[in-house]
């Protein structure tokens, strides 16, 4: 069956790519519940964090089954597939690739056979010492002869799984406590063996990870919105440097590293759902307050404040409120762009952003507009928007951005453009304004953005704006999506893996189940 590419947005402009989300992870331990469907709906709530592939692993105590494929959660799973995933424990994942390319072999959760059973692991984030860890694995064991790395998986997730599988410890829990302090970068892990759910968060807490309670079990998820959709109550955030295990004896927690908080401020700006709460602060309220602060910092006379749908909407609401200027929608979004893999012709491509957005001429014609967006990466999208709004009759166009200029790449799970491609890296604000063709351009200050989150600056990562990274970084050739890519590696095509505790030293068996 022909399927769509699983992307929610197209690269309408050649080479243009906005900030790509981190991944989403979900885990549940709940005897008596349909854990596969809980995981499905949890991933459905986290779909915005990754649209390339999705997968769920389950176990009823003696065998782990994993089903994963390329595409959106709703494309990968149906009732028939979910009914084959039985058990009391599950982990799920939706992916955007940050280490390793976007193909089936790199979909998650990953499977690994350990001396004491099986591990299925899902990862949100990006390790910065993958090359060093890979060298250690090779020095210790040689290139893996089994497991997903042997089958062509080139992700840091498969590397973590391989390192856990090689452990000499008495249990998977002991192996994790030994390995986790050696991982550098950002990682929120949800993983399992045949009986137990585990979760861990890096010492900086760069990506969010929360713990929830069901009537008959426990849930871990990337965002509180995923707890809401499965009816779990928020217990608390999983602390930076914390390891959690849940089994029939209940929940237990251990600290594997000293917390050194540096939560990603861009989660508040763009990445997280607006109905999520991070470290006690509503993401939606943060974005509205960023808009208010933006109005205070960059006031201008205008007739209408309008957002770039939909990420700019909360900030535009805040700007309009603080400025006392009417809020309105001057652009209509086509929500279905990207649900087909039919590429636009050259003629259609010339229309560019009109595939996604079209102006309401009766609203914008003759008006002085304030257009609010969350960020500018290369500037191609905003440049096309300005041109389109002028063609629709706008009298003036004033661009307002609810984050500071992005000047540095992210190595912790957001795939920005390279530094050389970031428009703010080489141009002053006035030069960027001229490049976009806007009448004025204003970015929120770093101080204003941080203040809107209600978080102390010292516990936030602002590296993409400031260039100050919270962890040490290796040389440039030890970073990047292809750091674990091996020339000539082959990628398997099966979707359904199973392992059980009676086969701990054999590769995952593969079945063409769909």
Through-space distance between the first and last CA atoms of the chain, rounded to whole angstroms = 10
C-alpha 107/C-alpha 495 separation (Å) is 9
Provide φ and ψ at 450, rounded to 5°.
-65, -45
Provide φ and ψ at 215, rounded to 5°.
-60, -35
C-alpha 508/C-alpha 499 separation (Å) is 6
Closest-CA residue to 36 (of 51, 62, 54): 54
Query: Quick one: tokens of 339?
Result: 């649900």
DSSP 196-240: -EEEEE-TT--S--EEEEETTEEEEESSHHHHHHTTPEEEEEPPT
- Establish whether 373 is an annotated binding residue: yes
- Cα-to-chain-centroid distance, residue 70: 16
Residue 94 is among the residues annotated as catalytic for this protein: no
Report CA-CA distances (Å) from 20 to 50, 99, 409.
Answer: 8, 13, 12
| Active-site position among 23, 57, 304, 452 | 23
Strand partners, 497: 66, 510
- Establish whether 374 is an annotated binding residue: yes
- Establish whether 94 is an annotated binding residue: no
Dihedral sign (CA 44, 47, 50, 52): positive
Asked if residues 94 and 43 have their Cβ atoms less than 8 Å apart, the reply is yes
What angle do helix axes 283-297 and 313-323 make, rounded to 10 degrees?
Answer: 50
- Establish whether 188 is an annotated binding residue: no
- Establish whether 264 is an annotated binding residue: yes
DSSP 160-180: HHHHHHT--SSSHHHHHHHHG
Residues in binding site for [4Fe-4S] cluster: 264, 410, 461, 464
Residues in binding site: 264, 311, 373-374, 410, 461, 464
Name the residues annotated as catalytic: 23
Residues in binding site for Mg(2+): 311, 373-374
């Amino acid at each position: 069956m022909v399927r769509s590419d699983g992307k929610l947005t197209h690269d309408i402009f050649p080479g243009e790519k906005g900030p790509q989300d981190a991944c989403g992870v979900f885990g549940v331990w709940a005897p008596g519940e349909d854990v596969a469907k809980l995981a499905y709906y949890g991933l459905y709530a986290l779909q915005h964090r990754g649209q390339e592939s999705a997968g769920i692993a389950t176990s009823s105590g003696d065998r782990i089954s994993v089903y994963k494929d390329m595409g959106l959660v709703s494309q990968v799973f149906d009732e028939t597939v979910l009914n084959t995933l039985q058990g009391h424990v599950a982990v799920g994942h939706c992916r955007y690739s940050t280490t390793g390319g976007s193909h089936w072999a790199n979909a998650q959760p990953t499977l690994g056979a350990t001396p004491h059973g099986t591990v299925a692991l899902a990862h949100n984030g990006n390790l910065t010492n993958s090359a060093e860890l890979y060298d250690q694995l090779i020095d210790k064991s040689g290139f893996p002869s089994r497991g997903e790395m042997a089958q062509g998986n080139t992700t840091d997730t498969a590397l973590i799984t391989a390192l856990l599988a090689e452990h000499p410890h008495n249990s998977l829990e002991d192996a994790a406590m030994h390995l986790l302090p050696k991982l550098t970068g950002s990682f929120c892990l949800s993983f399992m063996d045949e009986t137990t759910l585990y979760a861990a968060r890096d010492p900086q807490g760069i990506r969010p990870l929360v713990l929830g309670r069901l009537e008959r079990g426990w849930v871990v998820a990337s965002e509180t919105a995923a707890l809401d959709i499965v009816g779990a109550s928020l217990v608390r955030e999983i602390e930076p440097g914390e390891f959690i295990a849940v089994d029939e004896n209940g929940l237990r927690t251990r600290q594997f590293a000293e917390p050194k908080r540096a939560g990603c401020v861009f989660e508040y700006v763009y990445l997280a759902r607006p109905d999520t709460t991070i470290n006690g602060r509503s993401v939606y309220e943060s974005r509205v307050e960023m808009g208010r602060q933006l109005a205070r910092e960059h006031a201008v006379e205008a007739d209408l404040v309008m957002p770039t749908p939909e990420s700019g909407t909360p900030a535009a609401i805040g700007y309009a409120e603080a400025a006392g200027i009417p809020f309105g929608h001057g652009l209509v979004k086509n929500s279905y762009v990207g649900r087909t893999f039919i590429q636009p012709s050259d003629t259609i491509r010339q229309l560019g952003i009109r595939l996604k957005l079209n102006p309401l001429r009766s609203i914008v014609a003759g008006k002085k507009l304030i257009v609010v967006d969350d960020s500018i990466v290369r500037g191609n999208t905003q440049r096309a928007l300005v041109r389109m709004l002028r063609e629709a009759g706008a009298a003036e166009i004033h661009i307002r951005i609810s984050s500071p200029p992005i000047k540095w790449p992210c190595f912790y799970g957001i795939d920005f453009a390279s530094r050389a491609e970031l428009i703010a890296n080489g141009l002053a604000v006035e030069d960027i304004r001229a490049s976009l063709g806007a009448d004025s351009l204003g970015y929120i200050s770093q101080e204003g953005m941080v203040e809107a989150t209600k978080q102390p600056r010292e516990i936030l990562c602002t590296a993409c704006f400031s260039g100050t990274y919270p962890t040490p970084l290796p040389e440039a050739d030890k970073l990047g999506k292809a750091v674990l890519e091996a020339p000539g590696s082959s990628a398997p095509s099966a979707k359904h893996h199973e392992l059980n505790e009676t086969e701990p030293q054999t590769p995952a068996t593969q079945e063409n189940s769909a």
